Amino acid sequence: MRLQFVLTEVLHGLRRNLSMVVSVVLVTFVSLAFVGAAALIQRQVDKLQDDWYDLVEVSVFLCPNASTAPTCVGGEASEEQIDTLRSVIENELSAEVTTIYFETKDEAFASFKERYEDGSYQGMQLTVDDMQASFRLKLADPSQYEVVSDVLQGRDGVEVVVDQRAVFEPLFLALNRLSMLAAGLAVVMLLTAALLITTTIRLSAVSRRRETGIMRLVGASNLFIQLPFLLEGAIAAVVGSLLAVGGLWLGVRYLVTDWLEQSVSWIAYVTTSDVLAVAPLLIGIAVALAVVSSVVTLNRYTRV
């Protein structure tokens, strides 16, 4: 009987404040969509880092003929210097380096020709002599680049040590900033949703003040009086969160999986499974938002 009464009160409350309830649903939907988007962008960054950081190498470029680097005063790196560097890598860096590949000038020129068939770059015609030999090092842990650089940088015959991760850092930085922007917008929208939920519950409580007064006179507990209002806010917020989950699922399904992944297939993208993994977080935020907003309001407006 009590459950039936509570459910009846919830339905009456939702009908009385239908426009405000719809507003709560829509604002919650938009705000949680931003929260979910921020979480998915961060997951995308993690996927890219996991995949690409495992592929990148450290390139140790050896001195060419015309280098002005202090370590290249003797001209092009000699065979003795190359052998010394190889020994250092194999011994001092054995724990950090898993694979060593030496690219000769001829091999570098062949790779150059594959990219620039006419053999020219920025209006200059290049030859084998213009190329640099290099060591390409695969690291067990790409984050240990500094260790490798400290050991090899400044040695005779080494012009520069380059971490290929630097190529991807601007992309990761842009994605992280986009994630932060989405999170910032989400905070603003969540605050708006909280204010709307507070207003909706307040209007509902004021309109039913006489009813709540009678319930208190007959001995109803605070929880029993406040429960219908709590459920009204929670239902509206949860509906908004489910709409957000559905919107994110459709976005990933049709924009990422069916379109972007078909256009650029060599990147690991977020999937609908990631959306489902984020869904409990969004629903939890919605429920917490509704409960906190409702309790703060009810403690003031359901007193008789």
What's the rounded Cα separation, in Å, for the pair 79 and 103?
13
Domains of the chain: 2-53+169-301 (no CATH), 57-163 (3.30.70.3040)
Output the tens digit of pLDDT for each of the chain's 304 residues: 455 545 565 566 556 666 777 877 888 898 888 888 888 888 888 777 766 666 677 889 998 887 888 888 888 888 898 899 999 888 888 888 888 889 888 888 888 787 777 767 766 777 787 788 899 888 887 777 788 888 888 888 888 888 777 766 777 777 778 778 877 887 887 888 788 777 777 776 666 666 655 555 555 555 555 667 777 778 888 899 999 999 999 999 998 888 887 877 667 788 899 999 999 999 999 888 888 877 777 666 555 4
Beta bridge partners of 121: 124
Angle between helices 2-16 and 18-55 (to 10 degrees): 90
pTM passes above 0.85: no
What's the rounded Cα separation, in Å, for the pair 254 and 251?
6
What's the rounded Cα separation, in Å, for the pair 231 and 228?
5
Angle at 236 (CA atoms; ends 232, 239), nearest 5 degrees: 140
